[in-house]
Every structure is written in C-alpha cells, then in structure tokens.
Amino acid sequence: MKKVYFIIIGLCFLVVSCQNEPKYGFDVIELMKSKYQNTWYKNFTFAQHVNKYKNDSVISKEIWYEAYSYPNKLIIKFNDFSSGSGVLFNNDTVYHFKDSMLVTHYKRIHDLVLLGLDVYEQPVEVNFEKLKELGYNLSKMCEATFGGREMYCIGVTDEQEQANKFYIDKEFLYFVKNVKFQGDDINETVFSNYQTIDDKLVATKILFYKNNQLIMDEEYFNIKFPEELDQNIFEPSNFLNANW
C-alpha cells in the first residue's frame, strides 16, 4: 500500500513539474521577470575595452564609457568623455554623435538593452510587444545547449531554423545570445563571463559576430550600480557635457 502511495505522490510531482515547464517564449519572459523583478539593477555604469577585428586579427583598440538607466536609456561615449563622439539610446530612438555634432537619429529598439536589462523590470506586455516588433516569434520555443549549458531557444521550434532567435539560460534565466537575420547577413551577439558584483549579476564580456566571424568584443571594468543617475545625461541636447 505504501509503495502505491509513493508512486501516486511521485506522479503528482511529475505532473506539477511538467505543468511548470514553459511551452512558449512568452512563458520564459514571464519567468525571467518573476525571478528578478525588484532585484535587478536600474542603474549601471562601466567602462569597456573594445577590440575590433577583421579576419580574426585585432585592427583597433578603444575604451568606451557607458551608463544605463531603466527603462531603455543608454549613453556611450567613445574614447573620452570630452570626445564629442558616441551613441545615445532613449525612448526607443538612437542618436549618433561625431565630433560634437548630432549626425543622425532614428527609431530603434535596442535588442540587447531590452533582453539584457529592461526585461527583468519592464511589464511583460511591453516586453512582448517590443520583441514582436524586433522580429522574434514568442509563440515558438525549443531547448538547446550553448557553452555547455542548457538553454531555452526562443523564436524557433528547431534551433537550425533560419529565423531570429535568442537564448536564455535555463537555470539562471538570464540572456545569453541572440541571432538576427538581416538581409544576407547573420548577426550574433553573446553575453558571457557573467559575474556577481556587489550582489548584482552582470555579463562582463560581450562578443559580436557577423556571418560567423568575430568582429568586435567588449570587456567591462570599473563596474558600478549607483542608486541614482542624473537623467539629464540621457537627453540628446546634453550629450556633449554628459558625465557620470
């Protein structure tokens, strides 16, 4: 009788476990938000070594300075705070500056800011809508492995499918990689070397590939998580004088 009882209990746990397993990309986004909501950092500043590559050789080295603030605000200053060159993302618009001049601006949802940062705090409905606009099919999902770890691969039902997709670590539910098909090009970004710094989880090395060739990598240093950031630094009119 005890044996039958334990078998029934085991089956019940199995059913509950199966019910909790995500079936769609929508489910994984909800799990990410549920796990980290109110604990993920809303402000993030850092510097980074930037290496650019051609034919597997480094062709340039730079240092960039960056600051992020939730939601979807990111400022990047190239080489020096006073250089007058860099990029600003604010309100799903990107602004490009060169030699103290605004060169161009246009609408752009930043995949990496959304999937690597905003997703943990932003309402899931907003995440769903923006990811759809970026070309990810959240009704599709499969399981995969990457870097020896188990992943949820969202946007496809077969990892080999030629469609936009992104990978979420199954255990820790953080963003690891995305693959986007743009014209004849395949662009891939990998968030790697996750570390816990000041009790915050952060990817400290980012790799960028185009058509399977490494074109750039970034290595973060001087990482900080300020309680507050002056929001004026994210205004295009203040880009030249922005400092943090």
| Residue 6 belongs to a domain | no
Domain limits for position 89? 22-241
| Residue 7 belongs to a domain | no
- Total count of domains within the chain: 1
| Residue 123 belongs to a domain | yes
| Residue 227 belongs to a domain | yes
pLDDT at 36: 96
Distant-in-sequence, close-in-space partners of 177: CB < 8 Å, separation ≥ 6:
146, 166, 167, 188, 189, 190, 191
pLDDT at position 158 over 60: yes
pLDDT tens per residue, range 123-138: 999 999 999 999 999 9
| Residue 4 belongs to a domain | no
CATH of the domain at 165: 2.50.20.10
pLDDT at 15: 37
pLDDT tens per residue, range 163-210: 999 999 999 999 999 999 999 999 999 999 999 999 999 999 999 999
In angstroms, the CA 231 to CA 211 distance is: 37
The pTM for the full model equals 0.90
| Residue 66 belongs to a domain | yes
